[in-house]
Structure 1
Amino acid sequence: MELLGIHHLSAMTKNAQDNVDFYTKVLGMRLVKKTVNQDDPSMYHLFYGDEVGNPGTELTFFEMDQIGQNHDGNNSISTTSLRVPNDEALKYWEERLTHLDVEHEGIVEQFGRRVIPFRDHEKQRLMLVSDEKNEGVSGGIPWQQSKADPQHGVIGLGPIHLTIPDLERTEAVLTEVMGFRRSGTYEFTQTENEVVVFETGEGGAGAELHVHVSPNLHPERLGRGGVHHVAFRVQSEEELYQWIDRLNQSKLGNSGFVDRYYFKSVYFREPNGILFELATDGPGFTTDEDELNLGETLALPPFLEEKREEITKNLKPINY
């Protein structure tokens, strides 16, 4: 049993149309699935990724039109990284973000890689990470019809940053239960705090957690521009059941097996309250749509299909 890397990350948005405009037109990602929150079908659940939304490339958003602004703080997933092919791509993105008036900090060094910290239109903390020196989990394939140059396009999720007040208990879960291993430390220049890096599977940018320890921060209040949970890759449904057994044996409260149709999952919280998910690599997003037409219509899992008319009435159309 070994987690293969980052599977997806789910964040919060106030407006689905504005969200689609930013992530497809500015970042050039593909909307690979337009569906609803299966636990609350009144809201959109949007999935962006590479050309087919391969595991490890999926950035997703729940739309809540009444949600307030995120208040950054502790006990949080504090930065989401997006991988690009190389250092040359970062130069392209630095120019593009500047041209499109996207707030960013320019190209800087972090943990031996070149990165661009930036924020989206709702102030979500993001980071473009160069794969120039990456060894480990391979990236995906940028969408060739992207609004951005596919040669420099986003190829997947990179290191996910957590901010917590106490490392000891979280590290125990990461290493003793989830099988992560320490791979290094660095000083985060913005806060001068030490960041501890953990990796799983083949390692590399697509399989890392960067854990910031900040005992003096207030807890985060989740809102638009905040992150709901991060998911890690499990090879098969059979192995997912083994992970559920391990969580139970470790006395970690969890959701049990959940069928999300496009993948199977289990959810639990690490000791500082951050929501983790373990998700299978398959069956994937071509289960109910062909590759050429991914994301073009509202996709619903079979158990919601009979409610399609009612669900559609409650959703505002998205143009893209």
Structure 2
Amino acid sequence: MTDQPIGIHHVTAITDDAKRNYQFFTEILGMRLVKKTVNQDDIHTYHTFFADDKGSPGTDVTFFDFPGIPEGVSGTNSISRIGLRVPDDAALDYYLDRFKAHEVKNDGIQILFGKKILPFEEADGQRYQLFSDENNEGVEPGTPWKKGPVPADKAIYGLGPVEITVSYFDEFKRILLDTYGMKVVQEKENIALIETGEGGNGGQVILRRGSGKTSIQGSGQVHHVSFRVKDHEALKQWKDVYDEKGMKHSGLVDRFYFEALYTRVGNILIELSTDGPGFMGDEPYETLGESLSLPPFLEPQRAHIESQITPFDTTRS
């Protein structure tokens, strides 16, 4: 039997301003830019990766930068919020004060499924929520950015539950359970907490029943979610699962930093990604994310790529 996904691998969203987005993630949220590269399917645009201190799987939020792209429209049939983990309730209090100081729109500290959370928004309307790991068990977090602006005992150190809102709630839940082997932890009317692997905040999905207008992708919206698998062999097994179930998919894709496999469940693009090789193989730890990194198959096009993208300074060392 194919193993469940280990947990959340990454979430990829869309921005219309890579520089503003970089400043928000590094200077306000305190996450490290571990890779500044290009969208391998559109090499004229940036793809940035923000993660923990070492770019550990399960910690990164990534962005496709499409300058001038229309603003997205929030609605149903979308990945509606990105979750991020902090160590405890005191860290939520710290970020609440930090958001007030930096005028970050937020909804204050709340309770969801017995967990303290802090929903907030980026300037372009991208929606997030911080989850306190107080009393949390399950998928291990990463390591806080050691040279970041947020104290290590308060800093974001991993991905939290990803919120998905769909009009086809029952069908989507069935696929998460029957195809991916996930399980329901808690369920209320029109909302379910579902987990994979060792579970906890690093391996959970919040599934909401949506209605009304369908979301439209653009800046401020999420592009896809990825779940973790161990290695190449595990990914091959998942390809076989998709084939057996008649699910259309991308085939195995080598992204250099990891291998990937994509499918759609209705409107939701789901990726499975390997834990390795990771982001430490082509740049020194000390200068991760400071220069444009290209996988070997794009390196011959470096001069052309650099002529097409707008430079922005990410030097911190």
TM over 0.5: yes
Where does residue 86 of structure 1 map in the other structure? Answer: 88
Q: Which runs of 5+ in 1 are unaligned?
A: 187-192
Report matched runs for 1:218-257 at 5 Å. Answer: 218-257=213-252
Where does residue 269 of structure 1 map in the other structure? Answer: 264
Local SS of the residue matching 2:298? helix
- Quick check: 2:55–2:280 contact (8 Å CA) kept in 1? no
- Quick check: 1:258–1:266 contact (8 Å CA) kept in 2? yes
Where does residue 189 of structure 1 map in the other structure? Answer: none
Query: Residue 282 of structure 2 aligns to which amino acid in structure 1?
Result: D
Cα shift readout 1:62-95 (whole Å, capped 9, x = no counterpart): 0000211110011100001110000011111010
Report matched runs for 1:52-67 at 5 Å. Answer: 52-67=54-69
The equivalent position to 1:134 in structure 2, one of 133, 136, 142, is 136
State the Cα distance separating 1:293 from its structure 2 match.
1.4
Structure 1 position 202 matched with structure 2 position 195: no
Query: Residue 295 of structure 1 aligns to which amino acid in structure 2?
Result: G
**How large is the Cα RMSD of the aligned pairs?**
0.9
Report matched runs for 1:99-118 at 5 Å. Answer: 99-118=101-120
CA distance in structure 1 between the aligned counterparts of 2:62 and 2:152, rounded to whole angstroms? 20
Query: Residue 273 of structure 2 aligns to which amino acid in structure 1?
Result: A
Matched positions, count: 312
- Quick check: 2:36–2:49 contact (8 Å CA) kept in 1? yes
State the Cα distance separating 1:43 from its structure 2 match.
0.3
Query: Residue 296 of structure 2 aligns to which amino acid in structure 1?
Result: P
CA distance in structure 2 between the aligned counterparts of 1:170 and 1:300, rounded to whole angstroms? 36
Query: Residue 306 of structure 1 aligns to which amino acid in structure 2?
Result: P
Where does residue 314 of structure 1 map in the other structure? Answer: 308
Local SS of the residue matching 2:280? helix
CA distance in structure 1 between the aligned counterparts of 2:129 and 2:264, rounded to whole angstroms? 24
State the Cα distance separating 1:116 from its structure 2 match.
0.5
Where does residue 292 of structure 1 map in the other structure? Answer: 286
Between the aligned residues of both structures, percent identity stands at: 42
TM-score (normalizing by structure 2): 0.97
- Quick check: 1:113–1:133 contact (8 Å CA) kept in 2? no
State the Cα distance separating 1:118 from its structure 2 match.
0.4
The equivalent position to 1:17 in structure 2, one of 10, 16, 19, is 19
CA distance in structure 2 between the aligned counterparts of 1:222 and 1:77, rounded to whole angstroms? 10
Moved more, 299-308 or 289-298: 289-298
Local SS of the residue matching 1:150? coil
The equivalent position to 1:70 in structure 2, one of 69, 72, 89, is 72
Where does residue 275 of structure 2 map in the other structure? Answer: 281
Structure 1 position 33 matched with structure 2 position 27: no
State the Cα distance separating 1:173 from its structure 2 match.
1.5
Cα shift readout 1:160-206 (whole Å, capped 9, x = no counterpart): 000100122212211111111111124xxxxxx62111100001001
CA distance in structure 1 between the aligned counterparts of 2:155 and 2:170, rounded to whole angstroms? 37
